[in-house]
Chain A
Amino acid sequence: MARKKIREYDSKKLLKAHLKRLAGIDLQICSAQVTEATEFTELANAEPWLSSSRLVVKPDMLFGKRGKSGLVALNKDLSEVAEFVKQRLGKEVEMGGCKAPITTFIVEPFVPHEKEFYLSIVSERLGCTISFSECGGIEIEENWDKVKTVFLPTEKPMTIEACAPLIATLPLEIRGKIGDFIKGVFDVFQDLDFTFLEMNPFTLVNGEPYPLDMRGELDDTAAFKNFKKWDAIEFPLPFGRVLSPTESFIHRLDEKTSASLKFTVLNAKGRIWTMVAGGGASVIYADTVGDLGYAAELGNYAEYSGAPNEEEVLQYARVVLDCATADPDGRKRALLIGGGIANFTDVAATFNGIIRALREKEAKIKEARMHIYVRRGGPNYKTGLAKMRVLGEELGVPLEVYGPEATMTGICKEAIDCVMSAA
């Protein structure tokens, strides 16, 4: 599903391997990954430089500003690195409002340096923006006026001329080297379907470019082209996004099917739950509950689309229902089984899976005093809606059903009125 951030360790690994292949530039960088599973003696055997160099260690968790947050240790030996990791592994930190434990570190040789350059490439609709600065590093944002930028349209090839404006003011002795490096990095960026890449900073070691810090994002829809080049790359979840067991169950289900199945718990104690067909509609249902002033009561975001089969819908609906009916507290709750007017999805067929799940969870639904609201249109919707109506009567669960004659989000207000009413 589109752009995915990758770890610094992987960004560097890809850059090193493919810069050599595509541009003949042999980066002298080394890096090692440390997680809970790492055995330091084994790691030191595999990466001998760890024992012979002074080291840098920092979390590799897709968040920046690590230096400013005191999460980087410089000029340490391996035992000190091990100690640094031991003290922080699994410890929660707060970054940009997200709290999560640190699970992955990157360890590299400590490289004393003076010069800090900045380089970034961003994929845009009509081309790529390449930015470069001689004043990179921690203060880049303060020095943003010194960043030079070129826009390379998609149809134009990358040449030394194209990146000339970036490096025009560099001293002659390093200009060619850095120009070649930028061009090479761009070739890697394109060849490997990167969508974003940033080095802040890179420096020169013995006159050769040497990335110190790096961020990358790949376009995961291009995985089929890059199967070999990416080499079983990991796409970690964004920092702070810790999946609950139910969420990771749906996440795995989503990865296995050609359909789309999304599920995020917003508030486990929420009283309004949703299970909405369609990428566009699902967002609008969540919007509407919020716009009506009841964001705090919204239990989840959930979307299914791309014609999942009955079995997939069943497994999916079970999870949503389990969460929605957990810990009954005697107060009423509502479930919105919503959706727009489908273009080609067979509504009755997808409803079959939901109906099976509702039947299975009858007792829990009643215990949670769940009121169900259905709104959907599209191929075979009349059959689907009729089945839902019958189910409501059969189970004795309050269940309102609407078709395309009603507005799509009208059931949001009904649900809110229901859960807010005293009885």
Chain B
Amino acid sequence: MATGQLFSKQTQALFYNYKQLPIQRMLDFDFLCGRETPSVAGIINPGSEGFQKLFFGQEEIAIPVHSTQVLMIPNVLIEAACSAHPTADVFINFASFRSAAASSMSALRQPTIRVVAIIAEGVPELDTKQLIAFARANNKVVIGPATVGGIQAGAFKIGDTAGTIDNIIQCKLYRAGSVGFVSKSGGMSNELYNTIARVTDGIYEGIAIGGDVFPGSTLSDHVLRFNNIPQVKMMVVLGELGGKDEYSLVEALKEGKVHKPVVAWVSGTCARLFKSEVQFGHAVRAKSGGELESAQAKNQALKDAGAVVPTSYEALEGAIKETFQKLVWREDLRHQRDHAPQIPEDLNFAIKSGKVRAPTHIISTISDDRGEEPCYAGIPMSTIVEKGYGVGDVISLLWFKRSLPRYCTHFIEICIMLCADHGPCVSGAHNTIVTARAGKDLVSSLVSGLLTIGPRFGGAIDDAARYFKEAYDKNLTPYEFVEGMKKRGIRVPGIGHRIKRGDNRDKRVELLQEYARTHFPSVKYMEYAVEVEKYTLTKANNLVLNVDGAIGSLFLDLLAGSGMFSKPEIDDIVEIGYLNGLFVLARSIGLIGHTFDQKRLKQPLYRHPWEDVLYTK
């Protein structure tokens, strides 16, 4: 254990396991104290590397993050980080209770590291004992585990210690006072910084040793250290029932090792109210440890050894005040700088407290992942699974933001099944196959196929729906519609097939029509399309209603007949091009299949044969 000052205004730390907020709070504190260098030299974060952007006052700075995929072993990583930052002598360990002991031991082994602070609660006792033994043998200091850390006012602060900037200013922690403070409890240390600031010139240094049975450093360790720091004029100790640590302080006081006034209070006088052992919040139990470890016994022993011990916690503030006022030298303290620079407020915090507002940049209405479980259009995932919803239901939620009746969602599913694939020769599949054979990954192969979808390939569903709707809504006869289109120089979308004929209909169209006739309340658009087909077949035998036309017209029937969409909504759906979405989604299934197929077959790079190209001028 070091014998004096642990920190200074130049102290720098390595921060293990990146946590944005505590680091930012350290840097804000630095700025408040007028430090020239940030107190965090580097961050060690297994699994990510590069730089982390953080604020130092108004400006952003980049703090190096140490980690590589190869050096995932914390040991090696810590060694590398320490040699990269030889001036950093404090190691702030935010690792979980599972890994905190191992990483702390690695840090203690580094010659550059003098102080290790362990935040995690629940580090096994045996592991902490190893750390204590190593630290003692090597003259190093362990603060924690299960602590918030500590602070040297105006110089250096560990992690979340002392809370918000407002509180730091309130407790005058941005400049040195003359009280050395040590406690078990991190929460209470912040409370006491406030109390001490009210009745003295504030703290010089405050340490929370942590609530574990065996803290890395003890109350008396720090009191003895404070005793050697000239700027510390008096000490305040907040102990707790359980354990014997206070007795080593009692011994030190009795042996005359402490030359400055010590105000002490051991909490837990209430333990006598409990009939059996009760676990308190910290790792102590009412009733265990016997009389010697009770708050009353420890308070008495401290008092007998010469510490100022008030009659209750309530009286502690008064005792601190009285002790401070008895100190003769305090007149020299009047020139203390008692104002701190302004720290710009964080946007998130300012928004939360209602001081500022900021516009959002994205708006989303279909899903929400913020709660216990994701929701699609307000329907939680558990409902979707428990009620046995299908892909059609999910599409209706995410695309149409409503639950459509089962006959509609089933229709959507049929459309997807029918359009999932159409053999290897169509342009989408062909592109995908060529790309997959060029050794490209799944996503590249898939999108190269999808990119062919457009006005000539697969993109006719929307147009079919648009024109059929327009014609039907205007009450055009099939004759007027088809001839009108001809005059405008537009081929009627949804009509015509390369292979199918009037006497050899597309089976898919028949299936869709049969389903709709059975389940849809109305099929007026489809009937209209059939009338159009009747007319076009009189012009040529291949001008049959194709699958695009069938889906397009039937989707109009779905929208209009379900009674769940207003007229403007239907217009919007047709206008935006929802229906091509069905094709894109469906065909992705097939394109992914083709990609896997080619990869499974280990097909080599495709090269189109010369013979198949007409070379001409």
Highest count of chain A CB atoms <10 Å: which of B130, B274, B314 = B314
B187 and A154 form a contact (CB under 8 A): no
Shortest Cβ distance from A14 into chain B, in angstroms? 15
A155, B137: Cβ atoms under 8 Å? yes
Tell me, rounded to whole Å, the shortest Cβ–Cβ distance linking A309 to chain B. Answer: 10
Set B22, B129, B354: member contacting A383, Cβ < 8 A: B354
Given contacts A240-B276, A341-B167, contact A290 B282 (CB under 8 A): no
List the one stretch of B208-216, B389-397, B548-556 in contact with chain A: B208-216
Bound Cα distance A125, B190 (Å): 26
Assuming the contacts A1-B283, A284-B313, asked whether A408 and B191 have C-beta atoms less than 8 A apart, the reply is yes
**Are A222 and B268 in touch, CB under 8 angstroms?**
no
- The 8 A CB mask of A162-202 against B (1 = contact, 0 = none) is 00000000000000000000000000001001010000000
**Which chain A positions have C-beta within 8 A of B240?**
280, 283
Q: Are B160 and A291 in contact (CB under 8 A)?
A: no
Q: Is B37 an interface residue (CB 8 A)?
A: no
User: Does B353 lie within 8 Å of A306, measured CB to CB?
Assistant: no
Contacting pair A241 B277 (CB below 8 A): yes
Cα(A278)–Cα(B282), bound, Å: 9
Closest chain B residue to A95, Cβ basis: B276
| A-B pairs with beta carbons under 8 A, tally | 209
With A219-B124, A343-B186 already in contact, the answer to whether A282 and B281 are too (CB < 8 A) is: yes
Given contacts A155-B137, A378-B167, contact A279 B212 (CB under 8 A): no
Q: Is the CB of B184 within 8 A of A280?
A: yes
A396 contacts the other chain (Cβ, under 8 Å)? Answer: no
Partner of B282, one of A153, A155, A224, A280: A280
Which of A3, A298, A344, A404 touches B194 (beta carbons < 8 Å)? A404
Q: Which chain A residues border B132 with CB–CB below 8 Å?
A: 125-126, 154
B230-266 CB mask vs A (1 if < 8 Å, else 0) is 0000000010110000000000000000000000000
**Nearest Cβ on chain A to B296's Cβ, whole angstroms:** 10
Chain B residues closer than 8 Å to A305, beta-carbon distance: 187, 281
| Interface-side segment among A45-53, A110-118, A258-266, A318-326 | A258-266
Interface core residue of A123, A291, A306 (most chain B CB under 10 Å): A291
Pair B275/A409 contact, Cβ less than 8 Å: no
Tell me the minimal C-beta distance from B221 to chain A in angstroms: 11
Q: Is the CB of A280 within 8 A of B270?
A: no
CA gap between A395 and B582 in the complex, in Å: 53
Which chain B residue lies CB-closest to A4?
Answer: B279
Name, among A125, A127, A155, A240, the residue most crowded by chain B CB atoms within 10 Å (CB to CB): A125
* Complex Cα–Cα for A331 and B337 (A): 52
Cβ of A67 within 8 Å of any chain B Cβ, yes or no, is no
User: How far is A280 from B267 in the complex, measured between Cα atoms in Å?
Assistant: 8
A301 located at the interface, meaning its Cβ lies under 8 Å from any Cβ of chain B in the complex: yes
Partner of B280, one of A190, A219, A262: A262
Chain A residues bordering chain B, tally (CB within 8 A): 69
List A contacts of B186 (CB < 8 A). Answer: 280, 343
Min C-beta distance of A78 to chain B, whole Å: 33
Tell whether, in the assembled complex, residue B187 and residue A278 are in contact, meaning their CB atoms are under 8 Å apart: yes
A238 at the interface (CB under 8 A from B): yes
B316 to chain A, nearest CB (A): 9
Question: Does any Cβ of B come within 8 Å of A93's Cβ?
Answer: no
B353 contacts across to A, CB distance below 8 A: 380, 382-383
Q: Which listed residue (A123, A240, A287, A413) contacts B269, Cβ 8 A?
A: A287
CB distance from B241 to the nearest CB of A (A): 8
Bound Cα distance A379, B25 (Å)? 12
Residue of B130, B164, B274 with most partner-chain A CB within 10 A: B164
Which residue of the partner chain A has the closest CB to B213?
A2
Q: How far is the CA of A49 from the CA of B270 in the complex (A)?
A: 49
With the chains together, A98 CA to B288 CA distance in Å?
14
The yes or no answer to B312 lying at the interface (CB within 8 A) is yes
- A241 and B275 alpha carbons, distance in the complex (Å): 8
Check: B374 CB closer than 8 A to any chain A CB: no
- List the B side residues contacting A380 at CB < 8 Å: 349, 352-353
Contact with A along B175-195 (1 / 0, CB 8 A): 000000001111110110111
Q: Which residues of A contact B129 (CB under 8 A)?
A: 123, 125-127, 154
Are B164 and A1 in contact, with the CB atoms below 8 A?
Answer: no
Given contacts A154-B130, A280-B187, A341-B167, contact A262 B279 (CB under 8 A): yes
A340 sits at the interface (CB 8 A): yes
A344, B22: Cβ atoms closer than 8 Å: yes
Q: Is B531 engaged at the interface, CB distance under 8 Å to the other chain?
A: no
The answer on a CB contact under 8 Å between A290 and B276 is no
Asked if B126 and A343 make an inter-chain contact with CB atoms under 8 angstroms apart, the answer reads: no
Cross-chain contact A295 with B126 (CB below 8 angstroms): no
Q: Is A377 among interface residues, defined by CB-CB distance under 8 A?
A: yes
| Residue in contact with B270 in the complex, picked from A195, A219, A301, A343, CB distance below 8 Å | A301
Assuming the contacts A286-B270, A344-B160, asked whether A278 and B125 have C-beta atoms less than 8 A apart, the reply is no
Which residues of A sit under 8 angstroms from B21, Cβ to Cβ?
344
Q: Given the complex of chains A and B, what is the CA–CA distance between A290 and B126 in angstroms?
A: 36
CB contact under 8 A between A279 and B273, given known A287-B312, A383-B354: no
Instruction: Report which of A155, A224, A340 forms a contact with B187, defined as CB distance below 8 A.
Output: A340
Q: How many residues of B contact A (CB 8 A)?
A: 74
A306 CA / B353 CA spacing, docked (Å): 22
The chain B residue with its CB closest to the CB of A264 is B278
Which of B130, B137, B269 counts the most A-chain CB atoms under 10 A from its CB? Answer: B269
B431 in contact (CB, < 8 A):
no
Say whether, besides A2-B213, A193-B124, A290 and B270 are in contact (CB < 8 Å). yes
Q: How far is the CB of B386 from chain A (nearest CB, A)?
A: 21
Instruction: State whether the Cβ of A312 lies closer than 8 Å to any Cβ in chain B.
Output: no
A183 to B: closest C-beta gap in Å: 17
A303 touches which of B160, B275, B280 (Cβ 8 Å): B280
- The distance in angstroms between the C-alpha atoms of A408 and B195, with both chains bound, is 9
Give the most central of A281, A289, A378, A404: most B CB within 10 Å. A404
Q: Contact: A238 with B276, CB < 8 Å?
A: yes
C-alpha gap A199/B184 in the complex (Å): 33
Which chain B residues lie closer than 8 Å to A378 at the CB level? 163-164, 167, 190
Contact string against A for B residues 271-313, beta-carbon threshold 8 Å, 1 for contact and 0 otherwise: 0111111111111010110000001000000000000000111
B126 touches A190 (CB 8 A): yes
Is B98 an interface residue, CB under 8 A from the partner?
yes
Which A-chain residue is minimally distant from B315 (CB atoms)? A291
Chain A min CB distance to B263 (Å):
15
For residue A245, CB closer than 8 A to chain B, the reply is no
Known contacts A155-B137, A222-B124, A283-B240, A377 near B167 by CB under 8 Å? yes
In the complex formed, the residue of B with least CB distance to A97 is B275
Q: B134 within 8 Å of A by Cβ?
A: yes
| In the bound complex, CA of A195 to CA of B276 (Å) | 20
B contact residues around A241 at 8 Å (CB): 276-278
Q: Does B122 contact A (CB under 8 A)?
A: yes
- Known A2-B283, A287-B312; judge A281-B185 contact (CB<8 A): yes
Bound-state CA distance A215–B148 (Å) is: 35
Q: Taking the complex as formed, is A151 at the interface, i.e. its CB lies under 8 A from any CB of chain B? A: no
Residue A159 at the B interface, CB < 8 A?
no
Q: How far is the CB of B274 from chain A (nearest CB, A)?
A: 7
In the complex, per-residue mask of B105-135: 1 if CB is within 8 Å of any chain A CB, else 0: 0000000000000000111111101101110
Q: B residues within 8 A CB of A342?
A: 163, 187, 190
**CB <8 Å contact, B270 and A222:** no
Task: For the complex formed, measure the closest distance between the CB of B169 and the CB atoms of chain A, giving whole angstroms.
Answer: 12
A21 CB-CB contact with B under 8 Å:
no
Among A284, A290, A380, max chain B CB count under 10 A is at A284
Interchain CA distance A204-B213 in the complex, whole Å: 35
Beyond the given pairs A238-B287, A305-B281, 7 more chain A to chain B contacts, judged by CB atoms under 8 angstroms and listed by A's residue number, are: A219-B124, A266-B274, A283-B280, A283-B282, A286-B273, A341-B167, A383-B353
CB<8 Å pairs between A and B, sample of 26: A1-B283, A97-B275, A98-B276, A124-B214, A125-B132, A125-B214, A155-B134, A219-B125, A219-B126, A221-B123, A266-B274, A279-B280, A281-B191, A283-B270, A284-B188, A287-B269, A290-B272, A291-B311, A291-B312, A292-B312, A340-B191, A341-B167, A343-B187, A344-B148, A380-B353, A413-B314
The 3 A-B pairs at the shortest CB distance, nearest first, are namely A279-B281, A280-B185, A340-B191
